[in-house]
Structure 1
Amino acid sequence: MAQKLAPYGTWTSPITAELITQSTINITDVLVDPVTGAIYHLEERPSEEGRAVVVETRTGQDVFGHWSARTGVQEYGGAAVTAYGGFVYFSHVVDNRVYRVKKGEAPEAVTPDYPSHRFADFAVHPRYPSLLVAILEDHTKPEPANVVTQLCIIDTDAKSVTPVVSGADFYAVPRFSPSGTHLTWQQWFHPDMPWEGAEIHIAPVTVQDGQLHVAGSTYVAGKRKEISATYPFWCSDDLLIFTSDEAGYHNPWTYRVSADKADALLPTVVEEDFSEAAWWLGGSYGAPLDDGTALLTAFRDGRSVLYIADVRNAALTEVDCPYVNVEHIRHVGADQVVFVATAADAALPSAIISLPQPLKLSVPPDDEPVHVVFYPPTNPEYAGSDQAGEKPPCVVNVHGGPNWKEYQWLDWIKQYFTSRGWAWLDVNYGGSTGYGRKYLDRLLGKWGIVDVQDCVRASRLLAAPPYSLIDPARVVIRGASAGGYTVLEALSTFPDAFAAGTSNYGVSDVAGLANDTHKYESHYMEKMMAGTPAEIPEVYKARSPIYHAEKIKSPLLIIHGKIDPIVPYKQAEEIAQNIRRRVGRVDYVLFEDEGHIWQKAKNIKFALEREIGFYEGVLGLRK
C-alpha cells in the first residue's frame, strides 16, 4: 500500500486513548517467596479504578478479590506487599491495615483497626515468620510536622504493632540478614531527600519469649546533606551490598559485619549510577546470586545495563541487557534472580513505534550539558507531510520530581502523539537523576531557573540548524507535578517560547507548597530554593508563577485532582483564576476522584484526549 502524505499533527493512528487506558496493565513490583519459591507480581489496573492486585506469576491468578495492595506511606507508596511461607502480606489502602492471605483463603487482618497508622516495606524474620519488620507512619496528628515515622515489628499471631527503631525523620529498606541475626535499614533527616543525604545502619537482633529486640545500631555509610547511601541487601550473614555516591556516582559498596568496615566494591569509580532516586518505596537495583556475587543494574545514557559483581575479586562483568529499564531485582535462589523490565518494542507492528534518540546537547551560554531524548513522527501509513518544507509540531515533556528522569521505555502516550505526526522531546534537565551527583546538584537553589532554561534552550536548539527537527512556532510544553511547575514557570518567564502548555497537578505557589505538602517533601524546597520561605520570601515569590501569571500569553490547560495530598488543588484554582482575571486563555479541569497521578482509566483517557484536542485547536490542526 502506498504511503500517504498529510500535514504533521493530523495523521490518523490506531493508537487510541481507549486502547491505552483499557488494555494497559502496569507491573509495578515482583516478589519472591523464599520458602516456596513462588513468584508474584503487582499489577496496577486503570480499568479497575486503579486497583493494585497481587498476581501469582506462573498461573496468572489473582491472589485476592476486591482488595487493593497499596500503601499511603510517604503518599507515593510502594513496597506494599511481601511473601513468605505460602502467605502474602499486603497493605490495604482502604483501611491502612496489613492483611495476610493464603491461596484459596480470604485475607485476614494482622494489625489493629487504626486508620491513622500506615505500613510499608515489609520483611519477614527467617526463623520467626510470625514477626515482620515494617515502616510505620503514624498520622494520629496529621500535620506534616507531627507525622511520626518509625520501624516497627508486626506480630501477625498476636496482631500487635511494636515500634523498635525511631529517632530519624524517615526509614526505608529494613532487611533481615539470612539467618535473622541482624537487621539493616536506611534512614535520613530533613531537609534531605534520600538521594541527597541518607545513612545505612545495622543492628543485632534477638528474639526472646516471642518478642523481637533490636539492640544499639551501628553506622555503616552515608552522611547528612552530603552522601547518599541506599538500597542495602544481604549476600550472606556477613556481607552487605549497597550503593553510595561518595565518589560522585552511585556505585556499589560492601560492608563486612565481622570487620565493621565499608569499602567501595570497585578500585575505580564507574561513571554510572547503580541505583535510582527513591520516590517510591520498594526499589531494588541488585540481588545476590550467591554469597560472593550479585547481579546489579546501572544507568548508561538513560538506559539500564546489567553487571555481575564479583565481590571476592572486586570486579564487574557486563552482561547483555536487551531491556530499556530494569528494576525490582529479587533473589530467587541458586544463581537465579527475577526482575521487572521494560523494552522498547511492542505488540503492535514495530513500524508504528517511534524509537528514542538520546542526545547530549551543549547549551549556551555556559555550554552546560543537557540530556534529552527525541522521538520523531512515526507512522507506516505516512511518508511525511504534503506541505513543502513543513517541520512537525513538537511536545516538550518535562518530568516530575524535580529530581527524576524520563525513561526510554515504551510509553504509549508518547506514541499516541508521534503516530499522529507529532515530534516528542523529553528533557532531562540539570537536576535529573542517573547522570551523577554533579548533574543532580545543578538544580540546588535554582529550581525554576535551570529546569526552565534547559527546556527552552533544548527546544530552540532542535528547531535550528544543524538539527532543524521541529517547527519553532509550534512547540508546546507539558509536565506533571514538578514538571507542571516548570511548565507554568516557563510560560511566564519565556512567554514567547511555547505556543501552548499543559500543567498536570503542577505547583504554582512554591511557598504555599512548602506550607501545605506532605511530610516527605515538606522541607524539599529549602534546598531547591536555597532557603526557607521565612528566610528568602522574595525568592519564593519571584519563582512562583501565581505571582506573575499576567505574563502568561500562551493558552494553558490545567488538570488537577481534588484529593491530591501532595500538591493541593487550590494551587491550580488560584493560578487559573489569576489568568482569567486578565482575560487570558486557560482551560481548567478538576477530577473529583483523583489524587496525585491519575489512576482511573476514564480520567486518563479524558485527560489525554482533552490535551491533544487542546493543542489541535490552538495550532489549527483540526480538520
Structure 2
Amino acid sequence: MQTNDGMLMSIPIQAPYGTWKSPISADHIVKGSKPIAELLVDPITNKIYHVESRPAEDGRNALVETETSRDLTGTQWNVRTGVHEYGGGAVTVYGGIAYFSHYGDGRVYSVDVNPGGIPEAVTPDSNSLHRFADFSVYPSNPQLMVAIMEDHTNDPTGETPSQVVNTLCVIDAAAKSVSPLVSGADFYSSARFSPDGTRLVWLQWFHPDMPWEGSELMHADVTVVDGKVSLTHIVSIAGVPSKISVAFPSWVDNDTLLFTSDESGYQNLYKFTGGQVTPVLLEPITQDFSQPAWTLGWSPYAPIDETGEHILCTAWKDGRTVIYLVNILSRAPPQLVESSFVAIDTIRTVSARSRQAVFSSPKVDGDNAIILCTLPPSLDPTGAEFTQQLPLLKGHHSNALIHVVYYPPNNPAYSGSSIPDESPPCVVNVHGGPTALESQALNWKKQYFTSRGWAWLDVNYGGSSGYGREYIQRLAGKWGIVDTEDSINAVDILSKEPYNNYLDANRSAIRGGSAGGYTTLATLSISSNAAAFAAGASSYGISRLGRPRQVHA
C-alpha cells in the first residue's frame, strides 16, 4: 500500500495477543535510556549536573556535566551512597568543586569539575563502616559541610541493623576530618544552611516511624569559630512524631524557609518566617506537593524570581505530576503550568534572574530527559518554555488509558488479535516502597511486553503515595493484605464489564521487586485467592524461606 506521497506503508496484521513480533529487545530495557539518579545545580556558577545510572557498567552511577555530557569521574568511581539503604543525596557541587560519596569505600571525595580534575578523599578511611549523604555546604567557608553520617562500626556484618548509629556531622575538606554535630535521633536528613550561614534546619525522626508517618523539622542558630561549627537554641518548629510528617525544607532567603507538611491530610506547602509557621496557600489542596521522603536529595519546588516571591512546584494529581506557579506571599491558588511531563522527583533553581529551573522527567512516550523551564519576565505560566528534551524512539509506545495503571497492547504492525473475542494476557506490576508510586513515564520493560501483544497493569495499591496521607495509611498494619487484595481486585474489575476486553484474568501474571516482591509472594500464597494469577515473579522480595517440615505418621 502507498501513501499520497508515494511512500510504502505496511498493513497492520492480526495475530494472537502475546505472540506479536516487536523491535523492542531486552537491550532496550538495559541501554534504551539512561536513568537520571540525581539532578543538581551549582548555586555559584549556575551550571547543571546530574548523576546517571549506567546498567551496562556494572550498575555504577556517574557524575555528569549536563551541558557537555562530560563525565567528571572515571569508570572506577561510583557516585552513590547506601545511607538509609535507599540512598540518594550522594553529591553536591559548589563553586566548581564537587563533593561526592564513593560507593566502593563509603568515603567522601572532592573533585574540580574542570577537565582533568582528580578525586581526592576528604574523609578518613573507615574500612567502609562510615557512610555519608545529603551534603549542605557552609556558605562562608565552602570546605565545611554538614552531612548525614551513618556509622556501621557496631554492625560490621550487617546482621544487627539496630546497632547502626545516625548523626549529623561536619566534614572539613581542608583538614580531611569528620566531627559530630547533632545526635540522639534515630534518623536525620535534609540539613540546610540559610544563605548567610547563621541558621541550620534539619529533619529527624525516631523508630518505628518512617519519615512519612511522623518527623520533626528542627531549627538552630549557627556559630563558626576557627572552623568549628556549633549550634544553639535548638527547637522543633513543625511536625509531630507518629502524627504529622514534614519534608523537604529549603531556604528561599535568610528569613524564609519552605517545607511540606501533611497536617491537612495531604503534603501541602508551608513556610517559616518571622518565627511563625503558616500555610503557603489560603486553603489546603487535596494533592500531595511532595512524595514521601524515602530517598535523599529530592526537591519538589524551586524559587523562580529574584525576590523569592514565586516558586515553581510539583504536585501529584490523578497519578501524574503537574507543575504549579505559586506566589508564597499572596496565598492565592496555584497557577497550572501546562506540560506533558508526568513524573518529576526533583526541580531546582538554575537562575532566579533568568527565571529558570531544571528538572528531570520523562513523558508518557519519551525517555528520561533533563528539562530546562524558562518563564517570561511577566511570570505568566502560559508562556513557560521547556527545552533540552532527549530523543525518543517513536511508534511503539502504549499510552495509559485509565488512572495510571493500564497499558493496552500496542504495535503499529498489528491491528489486534486473530482470535475472535480474545482478551490479552496481562503483566500486573506491583511497585516497591511500599509507599512509592508507579508513574506514567516511559518504561522500556513495559513497552517490551505491550509491543508483543501483552497488556500491562500498574497497581497503585492502598499505601501508594500521591493520594494523600489517608491513602498511604490504608497500608498501616495491613501490609500483605491491602496491597494483595487491591492487586487481585484490579484484575478482577478489568476483566469484567464494562472493561471485559482489557485483559484475560486467566492469563495474568503478577510481578514486583522489594516490597512489590513481597506483595507478589503474599498474593500467590496467603491472599484471599492464591490462584488469582497464573504465574508470578518476585525480584528481591522481602521474605524468609524455611525448610519443608518432615512429618512422620
TM-score by length of 2: 0.89
8 Å Cα contact 1:31/1:40 also seen in 2:
yes
Alignment map for 1:222-621 (pairs within 5 Å): 222-256=239-273, 259-289=274-304, 290=306, 291-315=308-332, 316-333=334-351, 334=353, 335-346=355-366, 347=391, 349-359=393-403, 373-468=405-500, 469-492=502-525, 493=527, 494-508=529-543, 571=544, 574=545, 578=548
Deviation at 1:30, TM superposition (A): 1.2
CA contact (8 A) 1:234 1:288 kept: no
SS of equivalent to 1:118? strand
Which of 65, 70, 77 lines up with 1:56 in the alignment?
65
Equivalent-residue separation in structure 2 for 1:415 and 1:23 (angstroms): 11
Q: How much does 1:216 deviate?
A: 3.1
SS of 1:136's partner is strand
Cα shift at 1:107: 0.5
Does the aligned pair in 2 maintain the 1:398–1:479 contact within 8 Å? yes
Matches within 5 A, 1:122-271: 122-142=135-155, 143-256=160-273, 259-271=274-286
Tell me how far apart the structure 2 counterparts of residues 419 and 484 of structure 1 sit (CA, whole Å).
24
Q: Tell whether the 8 Å contact from 2:72 to 2:117 is kept in structure 1 after alignment.
A: no
**Percent identity of equivalent pairs:** 52
Between the aligned partners of 2:105 and 2:392, the Cα distance in structure 1 is 40
Q: Which residue in the other structure is 1:559 paired with?
A: none
SS in 2 for 1:358: coil
C-alpha separation between the residues in 2 aligned to 1:86 and 1:24? Answer: 28
**Which contiguous aligned blocks of 4+ residues in structure 1 show a shift greater than 4 angstroms?**
none
Cα distance change, pair 35–354 in 1 and its aligned pair in 2 (3 A): same
Shift of 1:124: 0.7
Amino acid at match of 1:206: T
Q: Decide which moves more: 464-473 or 23-32.
A: 23-32
Equivalent position to 2:121, from 103, 106, 109: 109
Q: How far apart in 2 are the matches of 1:24 and 1:325?
A: 15
CA contact (8 A) 1:293 1:309 kept: yes
Note the C-alpha offset of 1:286. Answer: 0.8
Distance apart, 1:5 and its partner CA: 1.1
Query: Deviation at 1:348?
Result: 5.2
Residues 351 and 378 of structure 1 are in contact (CA less than 8 Å); yes or no, is this contact kept in structure 2? Answer: no
Bigger drift between 80-89 and 335-344 goes to 335-344
C-alpha distance after superposition, 1:196-228 (max 9, x if no partner): 101111111111112111223121110000100
Are the aligned partners of 1:54 and 1:69 in contact in 2 as well (CA < 8 Å)? yes
Q: Distance in 2 between matches of 1:168 and 1:348?
A: 45
1:274–1:285 contact (8 Å) kept in structure 2: yes
Tell me if structure 2 keeps the 8 A contact 1:304–1:321.
no
Task: Work out the CA distance in 1 between the residues paired with 2:56 and 2:405.
Answer: 30
Q: State the match for 2:22 in structure 1.
A: 13
Unaligned regions of 5+ residues in structure 1, if any?
360-371, 509-570, 583-623
1:350 shift after superposition:
3.4
Q: Deviations over 1:354-375 (max 9, x none)?
A: 011233xxxxxxxxxxxx5100
Tell me the distance in 1 between the aligned counterparts of 2:167 and 2:413.
Answer: 57
Richer in helix (by share): 1
The runs of 5 or more residues in structure 2 that have no matched partner are 1-9, 367-390
1:351 alignment partner, SS class: coil
Give 2:533's aligned amino acid.
F
- 1:41 maps to 2:50: yes
Supply the RMSD in Å over aligned alpha carbons. 1.5
What's the offset of the Cα at 1:578? Answer: 4.6
Of 131, 148, 155, the residue aligned with 1:118 is 131
Residue 253 of structure 2 aligns to a residue whose secondary structure is coil
2:312 partner SS: strand
Contact 1:373–1:427 (8 Å) recurs in 2? yes
Per-residue CA shift, 1:302-326, capped at 9, x if unaligned? 1111111111101222211220111
| Partner Cα separation in structure 2 for residue 450 and residue 578 of structure 1 | 28
Deviation, structure 1 residue 349: 5.0
Q: Is the 1:396–1:476 Cα contact (8 Å) retained in structure 2?
A: yes
* Counterpart Cα distance in 1 of 2:205 and 2:150: 14
Please state how far the C-alpha of 1:74 moved relative to its aligned partner. 1.0
Q: Do 2:426 and 2:455's aligned partners in 1 also have CA atoms closer than 8 Å?
A: yes
Question: What residue identity is the alignment partner of 2:129?
Answer: S
Residues 566-611 of structure 1 show CA distances to partners (whole Å, capped at 9, x for unaligned) of xxxxx3xx26x659x99xxxxxxxxxxxxxxxxxxxxxxxxxxxxx
Amino acid at match of 2:265: G
CA distance in 2, matches of 1:351, 1:60: 27
- Cα distance in 2 between the residues matched to 1:436 and 1:131: 38
Paired amino acid for 1:376: P
Contact 1:243–1:274 (CA under 8 A) maintained in structure 2:
yes
Distance in 2 between the 1:85 and 1:134 partners? 18
- 489-498 vs 428-437, greater mean Cα deviation: 489-498
Instruction: Provide the C-alpha distance between the structure 1 equivalents of 2:362 and 2:217, rounded to a whole number of angstroms.
Output: 29
Take 1:43 and 1:407, find their aligned partners in 2: how far apart are those partners?
20
Question: How far 1:481 moved relative to its partner?
Answer: 1.1
Instruction: Answer yes or no: is the 8 Å Cα contact 1:24–1:46 preserved in 2.
Output: no
- CA deviations on 1:138-170 (whole Å, 9 max, x unpaired) are 110012111110111100000010111111111
1:443 match: secondary structure: coil
Quick check: 1:301–1:358 contact (8 Å CA) kept in 2? Answer: no
Residues 218 and 467 of structure 1: is their aligned pair in 2 closer, same or farther, counting only changes over 3 Å?
same
Q: Using the alignment, how far apart are the partners of 1:235 and 1:63 within structure 2?
A: 29
1:253-298: CA deviation from partner (whole Å, max 9, x where unpaired): 0101xx3111111111111000001221111101222422211100
Output the CA distance in 2 between the equivalents of 1:247 and 1:445: 22
Q: Helix, strand or coil for the counterpart of 1:326?
A: coil
- Aligned equivalents of 2:413, 2:138: Cα separation in 1: 57
> Structure 1 residues 37, 392: CA separation in 2 closer, same or farther (over 3 Å shift)?
same
Partners of 1:89 and 1:179 lie apart in 2 by 21
Distance in 1, Cα, partners of 2:523 & 2:539: 14
